[in-house]
Structure 1
Amino acid sequence: MSYREVASKQVLTWACVAIGARMPVAMAPLALVFLVRERPGGYSLGAALAAAYVIGEIVGAPVLGVRLRPERARPQLAAGLTAGAFGFAGLGVFPDAHPVMLGAFAFLAGAGPAAAPGGLRTLLTSLVPEGAAAQALSVESMLTFAVWAVSPATVTGLALGVAPGVPLLLEAGLMASAAAGMWLLPVGWEADEPEREGTSRLRVLSRAWPVYVTGAASLSLLALAELVLPALLEQRGIGVGWAGPLLTAMSVAAAVGAFAYGARSWPGLLRTRSAVLMCGMAAAVALVALIPGAGGIAVALALAGLLQSGAMLTRNLSLREALPPGALAAGYSVMYAAVGAGYAGTGSLAGALLQVAAPSTAILAGVALTVALTAVGWWGERRTDLSAHAADPVVALAPDGRGPEGPPVGGGRDPERRL
């Protein structure tokens, strides 16, 4: 399959909706800091608001994602995006409100649309031929990294050049436009394998836990690159202002990597590809901590970005293999929560280590944690496969439990192929 398979009017419409839904997410943490930085204790309050926003995402993604239904996804996603627009608008209109009210608006802005990334990803793959899923996910990754590349400059320019609340109002408008744009897309997607009566959706989703662990590991490295880089540059005697251009270069390299990954097929099992890419990315981030010059750091960050996009794509493709179609949107939402938790957890660890250790040491400790999570995820995926094969010879029982019902379905796995 080639990228021509995903070039259609519907995919272009989807891309416009996705930009409206995702650019506010990319802008939010920095915009919240700029919103309150001139108040007493402004930077601490900004960090607290950003934490409330991220907590909203972590809570909202699994709670709302599990409730997404393929046959009525459009109104559910539109409602969540509308709630997020309301939260961002509240922050922009009432910048001087009590911190508790601002925290509530930030939580709503994060929680309301938290199921949208997973729902939109599932909708995208339903718009293209089955064999073009990798190319569609590559397009999504390129779009995401492009959004993340332009968001910091957009927030900074509007907050400093116009007013601190303007970025939040822009975010509200973008998210409202995404909610309206949902009505130009299909109402949902087909679920070829409906859930078996009595089977808990949470139980189905839990079977993909190794993929969630790997997802958390991938964002752990991004947290290290973003949050510790300014302190590392200062340690190396390099101007802190270089942090922005270096991170932009990393995002651009990630977009290039996403294009390259979707342009051809790659050998090996998905779990093996994921582990190799994650280990390569970990090595690149470790080099960031060890290289003294700005040029070397730029090259290492670009290499990390190049590998990061491939790791993200293999993770999403692994989730498609691990879950039935009807649970994919919920699975992507749980993944969204997992990667958010990985980002927040590693960021907190790095912040604590910076109080007692050098920035380079904090990065290396985070890299070690990431490698450990990657190993756990790889082992879990391998063990799940082995367990599934071990279950093949099991003979199915009749509903009354009195004996064989007939030959095993699908090589001994359950009829819905969820094991």
Structure 2
Amino acid sequence: MSYRELATRPVLAWSVVTVAGRLPVAMAPLALVFLVRERPGGYTLGAVLAAAYVIGEIVAAPVLGLRLDAEHARPQLVAGLAVGATGFAGLGLAPGAHPLVLAALALLAGAGPAAVPGGLRALLTSLVPERAVTQAMSMESVLTFGIWAAAPALTTGLALGVDPAVPLLLMGVLMGLSVTGLWTLPPGWQQAAKEDGASTRRALLRAWPVYVLGAAGLTLLALAELILPALLEQRGIGIGWAGLLLAGFSIGSAVGAFAYGLRADWPGTLTVQSLVLVLAVASGVALVAVLPSATGIAVALVAAGLLQAPASLARNLALRELLPPSALAAGYSVMYAAVGAGYAASGTLAGGLLKVVAPSTAILWGVGLTGLLVLVGATGERRLVREREGGDRPLPRPQGEASEDADAAVRNVRR
């Protein structure tokens, strides 16, 4: 199936809703920093608000994802987006409020729509035939990386060129529009068979190696985004290049996602693909730490971006294979929380290391953390494979069942 066949009205409507709902998410951390940077201790307060926002996402995503009703998910998605829109609008309307009030609003803005990405992904895969799922998820990845490439420039331009509160107000309006757009989509998605809560939780827990690999992938993205400005200063390169270099990373990721969707069967299992690609991205980020020129850093970042998106796609497709259909939305939400935790952990590590080591060394330490997470995920995946192979062996037939078959054969002979 080609990408052209995804150009249906439901998929196009889904794309519009996704852009309106995810652009605020991509703009949020930087917008929160700009909102309060002119107050005393503004940059520290901005970092705290961004952390509160991310914590809201990480905590709420698995909790709300487990409660999504597959066949009637729309009211829950609408409620989540409405809460997010309220949080962003409150921040934009009251930028001078007490820091605790701002932190509460940021937490609310992050927590409310935390399960929406998982729900929308499950809805997207229900809008296309099974053979087109890889292309649909590749298209989603292209869209997502395009959003992340545009968000910093849009946020910076509005905050510095108009007013620091304007990005937050725009984010509230966009989330409100995504609420309206949801009514153009189906109310939910079909699930083959309902699992009880305990079975769903067990299935989600068994998939932990995939979540660890997801966290590993986002530690690399955090390294690229958060330490790059300091690394450029260390190399004597103008810090203004940081935006262009990160845009190259995002554009490379969008191209990589599109290329991955051109084939339905890449060599190796999905988990092996993810492992190899994450290690390749880690190599690219390590090169960023040691190359002396802006040109070399740009090439390394674009190459890492080209492989980052396929690694993420392979993880999500592996999760889809591993979980029962009724647990997919919850699984995508847990993955969302895991990658957010990986980003936050890497950012915290980077911030601490930059106080005691050079930026290039901090990046290499972060790559080491990624390698450790990959090792843990690969070990867990091997255990999963052994369990599945053991579960696939035919079980001995109960004695009573064999006797019934023998009695039936005798009756047929007599007839």
Quickly name the TM-score band, shorter chain normalised.
Answer: over 0.9
Provide the residue aligned with 2:255 in structure 1: 256
Within a 5 Å distance, the mapping from 1:68-217 to structure 2 comes to 68-195=68-195, 197=196, 199-217=198-216
Question: What amino acid does structure 2 have at the position aligned with 1:248?
Answer: A
Question: What amino acid does structure 2 have at the position aligned with 1:189?
Answer: W
Deviation of 1:296 after TM superposition, in Å, equals: 0.2
Within a 5 Å distance, the mapping from 1:4-403 to structure 2 comes to 4-195=4-195, 197=196, 199-265=198-264, 266-393=266-393, 395=395
Q: Distance in 2 between matches of 1:405 and 1:183?
A: 54
Q: Distance in 1 between matches of 2:110 and 2:152?
A: 18
Deviation of 1:375 after TM superposition, in Å, equals: 2.1
Residue range with higher mean Cα deviation, 137-146 or 263-272: 263-272
TM-score, structure 2 length as denominator? 0.94
Q: Summarize deviations over 1:124-155 as a string: whole Å, max 9, x none.
A: 01100101110000000000011011111111
Q: Distance in 2 between matches of 1:141 and 1:324?
A: 23
Question: What amino acid does structure 1 have at the position aligned with 2:257?
Answer: A
CA 1:277/1:36 → structure 2, altered by over 3 Å: closer, same or farther? same
Aligned residues of 1:81 and 1:178 also touching (Cα < 8 A): yes
Q: Distance in 1 between matches of 2:40 and 2:357?
A: 29
Question: What amino acid does structure 2 have at the position aligned with 1:254?
Answer: S
What secondary structure is seen at the aligned counterpart in 2 of 1:267?
Answer: coil
CA 1:396/1:46 → structure 2, altered by over 3 Å: closer, same or farther? farther
Q: Distance in 1 between matches of 2:60 and 2:249?
A: 29
Aligned residues of 1:205 and 1:327 also touching (Cα < 8 A): yes
Q: Summarize deviations over 1:326-346 as a string: whole Å, max 9, x none.
A: 110000000000000000001
- Structure with greater proportional helix content: 2
Structure 1, unmatched stretches of 5+, are: 398-402, 408-419
CA 1:114/1:404 → structure 2, altered by over 3 Å: closer, same or farther? farther
CA 1:406/1:213 → structure 2, altered by over 3 Å: closer, same or farther? farther
TM-score, structure 1 length as denominator? 0.93
Deviation of 1:231 after TM superposition, in Å, equals: 0.6
Question: What amino acid does structure 2 have at the position aligned with 1:338?
Answer: A
Deviation of 1:406 after TM superposition, in Å, equals: 5.5
> Structure 1 vs Structure 2: percent identity of aligned residues?
65
CA 1:371/1:404 → structure 2, altered by over 3 Å: closer, same or farther? farther
Question: What amino acid does structure 1 have at the position aligned with 2:243?
Answer: G
Aligned residues of 1:395 and 1:404 also touching (Cα < 8 A): no
CA 1:64/1:292 → structure 2, altered by over 3 Å: closer, same or farther? same
Question: What amino acid does structure 1 have at the position aligned with 2:179?
Answer: A
Question: What amino acid does structure 2 have at the position aligned with 1:119?
Answer: G
What secondary structure is seen at the aligned counterpart in 2 of 1:199?
Answer: helix
State how many pairs are aligned: 401
Aligned residues of 1:5 and 1:128 also touching (Cα < 8 A): no
Structure 2, unmatched stretches of 5+, are: 403-415
CA 1:406/1:244 → structure 2, altered by over 3 Å: closer, same or farther? farther
Q: Distance in 1 between matches of 2:261 and 2:401?
A: 42
Question: What amino acid does structure 1 have at the position aligned with 2:312?
Answer: M
Provide the residue aligned with 1:413 in structure 2: none
Question: What amino acid does structure 2 have at the position aligned with 1:330?
Answer: A
What secondary structure is seen at the aligned counterpart in 2 of 1:49?
Answer: helix
Deviation of 1:71 after TM superposition, in Å, equals: 1.2
**RMSD, aligned CA:** 1.4
CA 1:346/1:396 → structure 2, altered by over 3 Å: closer, same or farther? farther
Deviation of 1:394 after TM superposition, in Å, equals: 6.7
CA 1:404/1:39 → structure 2, altered by over 3 Å: closer, same or farther? farther
Which structure has the larger Rg? 2
What secondary structure is seen at the aligned counterpart in 1 of 2:392?
Answer: coil
Q: Distance in 1 between matches of 2:343 and 2:177?
A: 28
Q: Distance in 1 between matches of 2:222 and 2:400?
A: 52
Q: Distance in 2 between matches of 1:66 and 1:404?
A: 40
* Deviation >6 Å, runs of 4+: none
Question: What amino acid does structure 2 have at the position aligned with 1:251?
Answer: S
Aligned residues of 1:275 and 1:375 also touching (Cα < 8 A): no
Q: Distance in 2 between matches of 1:356 and 1:394?
A: 58
Aligned residues of 1:284 and 1:300 also touching (Cα < 8 A): yes
CA 1:41/1:132 → structure 2, altered by over 3 Å: closer, same or farther? same
Question: What amino acid does structure 2 have at the position aligned with 1:290?
Answer: V
Deviation of 1:404 after TM superposition, in Å, equals: 6.4
Deviation of 1:378 after TM superposition, in Å, equals: 2.1
